[in-house]
Amino acid sequence: MIETIYIARHGYRANWIDAQCGTVTGLARDHPLAAYGEAQARELATYFQTLPEAKRPTAIFSSPYYRCLQTALPVANVLNLPIHVEHGLSEWYSPVAPGTGLHPRPLAAADLNRYFIEIDPSWSSVWYPSRKGEDVKEVHARVNGFLDLFVPEVETRFADQHENILLVSHAATTIALCRGLLALPDMPLRVGCCSVSEFSRKPATHGILGAWGAKKLVDGSHLKDGASRDWGFEDIEMANGKVVNDIGVPGTERLENGPSGPQIPRSVL
C-alpha cells in the first residue's frame, strides 16, 4: 500500500530566460529546463538520495512534458529507478478560444523513450486532460478524479510493492494535487520550481481524497536558492469572473480531441 506521496514541481524553464528557446520534441509549449532548472533538478535528486532508504521513493511518475521528465531524470538516476509517464499529471491550460484549435498533447511514453531511456513505457496513463482546456473548477475535478483512480491502480499493478512514490508535475496541477489529497479545495498555496510536498497516509482511512496528512507543503529548503518562480491560482488572468481563454495550436482546428478523461473504468473505485 502507498504510504507516502511526494510531489515536486518541475525546475526553472528555459523560455523564462529566452522566449525563443524552442523545444526539443517539436511540440508547442514543451519547453526544456534552463541550465538553472537542471541544477535545481540535481539538487532535488540529492534531497531524495539523502533521505533514509526506507523513506526514498521507489517509483517515479512524471507529466509527459519535457521539463518534467528532465526534472525527474536526476532522481531516477541516483535512485536507480525508471520513470513512468502519466498524462494525468499534465500541464493545465485554460479553455481554448473558439475556432483556434486544441492545446498540445505530448507524445506517448514509447515515443518519449527515445529522449529518455529511463522511461518505462509499460505504464499506461489512467487519465488524459481534455485538449480543449479546463477552467479552474475543471482542473481540480480532473486531478481529484485522477487521484481516485491512480493510487489504487498503482497499488494493483505493482502488487503493493511501492510504499513511497514521487509525482513530478506543474504548478497548477501540483496545487490541485495537494488540495485533493488534503480535501481542502480552497487552501491558499503557491508553488515554486523544484519544491517538494510530502503526504503521509492517515491510519484507518478509506478512499483517497482527504486521506492524507501533509508533512511538507511546497518546501524549497533543499534548494541552494530556495524555490523560485512561485505561482498560485490567484495569478491567472480573469475576465467577467471566468478564466481568459487561451489560443490553441495552429493547425489543430480540425483534429479530434483524442483520449480525454479516465482511461480505466471508474467502477474500480
Q: pLDDT digit string (tens) for 51-81?
A: 999 999 999 999 999 999 999 999 999 999 9
Contact status, residue 183 vs residue 210, Cβ threshold 8 Å: yes
What is the Cα–Cα distance from 233 to 170, expressed in whole angstroms?
Answer: 12
Beta bridge partners of 197: 7
pTM over the 0.85 mark: yes
Domain regions of the chain by residue span: 4-262
Span 78-136, pLDDT tens digits: 999 999 999 999 999 999 999 999 999 999 999 999 999 999 999 999 999 999 999 99
What is the Cα–Cα distance from 25 to 248, expressed in whole angstroms?
Answer: 18
Mean pLDDT, the chain, rounded, equals 95
Class of the CATH domain delimited by 4-262: alpha beta
Is 24 exposed, middle or buried (CB count within 10 Å of its CB: 0-12, 13-18, 19+)? middle
Chain center to CA of 88:
7
